Amino acid sequence: MTERYANGVTTSLVDSSEGAPKETPESDGKIVLKRKLTLLNGVAIIVGTIIGSGIFIAPTGVFLYTESVGTSLLIWSACGILSTIGALCYAELGTSIMRSGGDYAYLLVCFGPLVGFLRLWIALLIIRPTTQTIVALTFAHYAAKPFFEDCDPPQNSVKLLAAVCLTLLTAINCLSVKVSMKVQDVFTVGKLLALIMIIIAGIYYMAIGKLENFSNPWEGTYSARNIGYAFYSGLFAFGGWNYLNFVTEELQDPYKNLPRAIWIAMPLVTAIYVLVNLAYFVVVNKPEMLSSLAVAVTFGNKVFGPLAFMVPIFVALSTFGGVNGVLFTSARLFATGAQEGHLPKFFQLFHVKQQTPIPSLIFTCLMSLLMLLTDNVYQLINYFSSVLWLSVVASIAGMLWLRHKKPDLPRPIKVHLVLPITFMVCCVTLVLLPNFEEPGNLLIGIAITLAGIPFYYVFIAWKQKPKCYGRLSSAVVELCRGMFNTTIIESNEAIN
């Protein structure tokens, strides 16, 4: 069953298969993706992607702008609640628009191909490569730290190790979905154990009466700008709550497992984050918190004594799993874009047997490696943080638009109207608060996003392209077919 929307886009409304799709006469000989991701894999993707470097670094950022223990803990709790509300809204989107691609797919269905392409444009060029690069650099820094106790690791060594991390995980993701998910599961368990160790240590210090850092919990600095930036730091640590929506076509029984994974993962992460921050504040005083680049390391040095070297290792393991989660979902996003004709055809190629998007994975890796060559990779993220949140708001607005225009659209999950409205108001407020005083990053991000419009009309909307363009595209596809033993795999849920 399919439904056509007002903008001419169609999408399938019925889950084509809960098991492994096979080539059948009804599919006209097309090969479609198998659903290999279990509920546990779904939880691991959300938890493993959210818990990367943020919880080990971002607490300093939140406290820097509030200088208040009580306010910082409230902001961490609010960030968890806000992310959970967003994830629940995305559960409704993900079960009514059964399509991988997350924001891109939802904007494409709700607002048409140009808006969808612009979201894909910034993800392809900036957001996904820089996110992977930053997390890989964090992994490399902490993996090398035990070998440089008295100083920071050399920058070139850190970049080289980050490149090894990216290429190794790309190879694993190319080889097998099951192996890449096994990596995600194992490293998710590892990082949870590390955070539980921190929580237990904090509880012990509280039990012996070490509470002097809580003597004036609400004393701090307050302004709209500072509160906005504090939320940015907290929400950065929660980034990844919507990543399971990028791979819904590979999730078994998504109508049930998508919301279940969200209900398991989001309260778990929120509780862990609040308790970990509570443990930090028990042990680390205000001057130490403000001067620490990685509060987890400062905490480890004060609590674990000769075993403090384990903390950088745990941070490295955590970020290694984070890179894997971002890489896994990025490749599926670009494959979805190719299936809709918004990216070159070779992005749509999957390995014949393993069903891994090898060309898309390699391209994603190469873009991230290029980002290692720039010294402004963090500035690029600043440009697009506001634009990224505005695209999330647009997706939620699209959900409300679909409720109005398509009231009979099957919705296995339907959240109360208060939740999406609250989420959108909070997100718009958070975007606007810092940009009233410093609008430069938002304006640059919007300008680069709008720069994708001429590319859309020249390379996508223009149908009468020169024959040489088609020949070049076909040659690249055939080269990838021969090199990687790949074939074009159709989506379970078409949007065309």
pLDDT tens string 45-56: 888 878 876 787
For residue 107, tell me if it sits in a domain.
Answer: yes
Tokens at 108, concatenated: 């494409």
Does residue 32 fall inside a structural domain?
A: no
Contact assessment for residue 93 and residue 328, using Cβ atoms and an 8 Å cutoff: no
Measured CA to CA, the distance from residue 360 to residue 125 in angstroms comes to 13
Cβ neighbours of residue 485 closer than 8 Å, sequence gap 6 or more: 351, 352, 353
Nearest alpha-carbon partner for 283 in 342, 352, 354, 197: 197
Q: Give domain status of residue 9, yes or no.
A: no
Query: How many separate domains does the chain show?
Result: 1
The confidence score (pLDDT) of residue 81 equals: 93
pLDDT digits (tens, 9 = 90+) for 222-255: 777 788 788 888 887 888 888 888 778 788 888 8
What phi, psi does 438 have (nearest 5°)?
-135, 75
Dist CA 295 CA 317 (whole Å): 17
**Which pLDDT value is given to residue 9?**
41
Judge whether 186 lies within some domain. Answer: yes
Question: Domain containing 470 — which CATH number?
Answer: 1.20.1740.10
- Looking at the domain assignment, is residue 103 inside a domain? yes
- Nearest of 320, 362, 53 to residue 183 by alpha carbon: 320
DSSP H helices, 340-376, are 358-371
416 belongs to a structural domain = yes
* Structure tokens belonging to residue 256: 């049930």
pLDDT at 382: 67
Residue 485: which region, alpha, beta or left (left: phi > 0; alpha: psi -120 to 50)? left
- Check residue 389 and give its pLDDT: 85
Question: Which tokens sit at 496?
Answer: 């065309």
| Backbone phi and psi for residue 355, each to the nearest 5 degrees, phi listed first | 55, 45
Tokens of 313: 């290792």
Helix 128-144 vs helix 358-371: angle between axes, to the nearest 10 degrees? 70
- Strand, helix or coil at 148? coil
Task: Give every residue of the chain whose pLDDT is below 70, as ranges.
Answer: 1-33, 53, 293, 375-382, 490-496
Cα Rg of the chain, angstroms: 23
Prediction pTM value: 0.80
- Please report the pLDDT score of residue 493 as a whole number: 56
Let me know if residue 388 belongs to a domain: yes
Residue 33 CA to residue 35 CA, distance in Å, equals 7
The CA distance from 362 to 167, in Å, is 9
- 347-373 burial code (b ≥16 CB/10 A, e <16): bbbbbeebbbbbbbbbbbbebbbebbe
User: What local confidence, expressed as pLDDT, does residue 58 receive?
Assistant: 75
Which of 83, 62, 63, 127 minimizes the C-alpha distance to 382?
A: 127
pLDDT tens digits along 462-471: 888 888 888 8
Q: Which domain holds residue 323?
A: 42-486
Residue with tokens 């400062």: 298
Contact 168, 365 (CB under 8 A): no
Q: Return the closest-CA partner of residue 241 out of 99, 45, 52.
A: 45
Is residue 28, in this structure, part of any structural domain at all? Answer: no
Write down the pLDDT at residue 24: 38
Q: How far apart are CA 491 and CA 22, in angstroms?
A: 12
| Residue 407 to residues 12, 86, 93, 398, Cα–Cα distance (Å) | 16, 21, 14, 13
pLDDT tens, position by position, 283-296: 988 888 887 767 88
Answer whether 403's CB lies under 8 Å from 89's CB: no
Contact 133, 372 (CB under 8 A): yes
